[in-house]
Structure 1
Amino acid sequence: MLHTGEVAVQQRAGVRAPKMGSARVGADIPEVAAGFLAAQAVVVIAGDDASGDRWAGAVFGAPGFATAPDARTVDLRALPGEPLGGAFDNGAEIGMIAIEPATRRRMRVNGRAERDGEGLRVRTTQVYSNCPKYIQARETTGLFTDPPGPAVRGGALTTGQRELIAAADTFFIATGAEGVGLDASHRGGAPGFVTVHSGSRLSFPDYRGNAMYMTLGNLELDPRCGLLFWDFEGDRALHVTGTASTDWDADRAAAVPGAMRMVDVEVTGVVEVPGGQRLRWDFHDYSPANPALV
C-alpha cells in the first residue's frame, strides 16, 4: 500500500493513478529470494544513529552469512561498523538492499532489526525485487582480510572525498518516514552523474524507474537521508548524512541527460572508513540503461 508521500510524488510526476509499480511487495520472503540472499557477500543497510542522523552502511561476509530461516526473518551473521555500529543494539527500524552487480539483480527488505549475538535478526515488513536498470556489472572476487581502520569524521566533504563522489557510478541512499519505516536503495549512472557543488552540497538526477517513488516519497515526509559511496578500486567507504529535497524544475532537469528531476542533498556529516569497503571487485561493463553524460 502506498503512503502519502509516494502518492504525492506520483501525482506530481504525472502517474495517472497511484500504483505500486512493477514490484510485488509483501512481508514474506519468497523461496527464490531466500536463495538469492544466501548467495550474497554484502547487504547494504539504512539506519539511524543515537542522535537521529540517518546513514547508509553495509554488512559484509562470506556467502551464506545472510540467511532467511523462515518466511519473515533475515539473519545477518555479522554486524555493521561505523557509523551504524550499535544502532540496532536495542532494536530499531532497518532498510536493506542485497545487490549482485554481476547479474544486475537486487532485492530490498524493510523491517525491524535487533542485535543477536555478533549479528542482526530482522523481522520483515516489506520484501520486493527491483529492476536491473543503472547497475554496473561487477563481480566480487573475495573479501579483504585486513580489518577496517578507524573512522574519520567531519562536518563537510574534503577535497579527496569530493573527488571520490564526482567519479562515482554507484551509490546507495537511506531514507524513511515516521510510521513507514526505513528503506535502502541503489542509484547508478555514468561516472560523473553525481555533481558535487561544494563541501556541503551535492546533487544527482532521478532517472526513469518503476514509478514506485519510494525514495522520493519518503523524502516528501522526512528529508533526512544517508548516502554511501564505495571505492571499488580500493577499500574506502564514504558515508554522508544530511537532508535532501526534490527539485521539480523542468528546465533544470532538461539540462541533464536522462533526468526526470533533480535531487539536492545538503551535507551535515561525513564518516570515511578506510577498509570499510570490504570486497574486491572486477569491473565488467556499465549498465546499458545509463544516460550518456555530455
Structure 2
Amino acid sequence: MHAEALRQHEVKDDLATPVLMAVALHVAIVVVLLLAGWWQPMPKMVSVAGPVVEASLVVSPADVRAAEQTAAEAPKPAEVEPIEAAPPPQPLPAPQPQTAEEQIQPEPQEAQPEPAPVDQEAVARLALEQQQAKEREEQEAKRRQEQIDLTEREKQAEAERKQRLRAQLEEIRKEREAAERRTKMEEQRLQQLADAQARPAPTPQPAPAAPAGGNNGTDTDLAARYALAMHQTADAAWNRALAPERVPCKVRFTQIPGGEVINVQFLSCGFDDQARESVERALRRGPMPYAGFEPVFSRQIDLTFCHPQEACPR
C-alpha cells in the first residue's frame, strides 16, 4: 500500500507541470489580445519640400449635420465578447501522513508448520514425575537438616559432658592433693611426737612474778589463763577473710611440749576447704603458749574459730 501511494504521488507530480504550462500560455494569450485592442501605432510624420503653409479647416454647419447623419447610419461594430480566463489550477491535495500501520508493513511470515498433537498422558506423566522428584528433594533436604541438627546437639552434649568430667577430675585432683598434704602433715606430726617422746622432758621453770595477761576477767586460775592465751595466739594468726561470718568452726589440735602443733582435727566446722586451711595454718604458724603454763600443759586442746566474736555463739 505504501508503494502504491508513492506511485500515485509521482504520477500527480508528472501531470502538474504540463497543466501549469498550459494555464500560463492561455493567460499570456489573453494579455496579448487586450494589449492589441488598446495600443495604436503613432502616425508617421511626412517631410514635404517647400514652405509651411498655414491653413485652417472651415467646416460649414451643413457638413457637420451630414457627418453626424453618416455616423448615425453607419453600422455599429460587433461587441467583442470577453474571453473567459482559464480557471486557476486547483491546488494539489496535501499528502496525507501515513499512519503507523501504513509506514510499518510487517514482512510476510512464512507459514508455520502445524504443531504436532500433544500427548496429554505424557504431559500428565511428566508433571507427576517432576512433582515426585521435587517432593523427594524436599524430603532429602529435610532429612539432611535433621541430621545436621542431631549432630550439633550431640556435639553440644559431648562438650558439656567433657566439661563436667574435667570439673570432676579437677575436684578429685584437689581432694587428692589435700589428702596427700594431710598425710604428709600427719607423718610429720607423728615423727615430731616420736622425737619429743625420745627427748627428756624440760625442767619446769618457776612462774614469773609479773601477773599473767588476761581479758579483764575475775578468773585468776592458771588453766583459764592458759586457755585464753591459746585462743588469742590462734586468733591473731588466723586470716578471717576466707571464712564466712557468724559460722563457728570447732577444732581439736595436738601439741607437744614446747607448744608445737603436730595434728589438727575438725570436729564440727561449717567452713569450706580454703577456710579450713586458713585455720590449720594459724595453728601451725608458731608454737602455742607453753612457758609459764607447764603445770597446766595439755597435749590436746579444743578451740572454736568464729568472727566477729561478739556475734558468735558462746
- TM-score clears 0.5: no
Structure with greater helix percent: 2
Query: Which of the five TM-score ranges fits, normalised by the shorter chain?
Result: under 0.3
Greater length-normalized contact order (CA 8 Å, ≥ 6 residues apart)? 1
Structure with greater strand percent: 1
Q: Provide TM-score, normalisation by structure 1.
A: 0.17
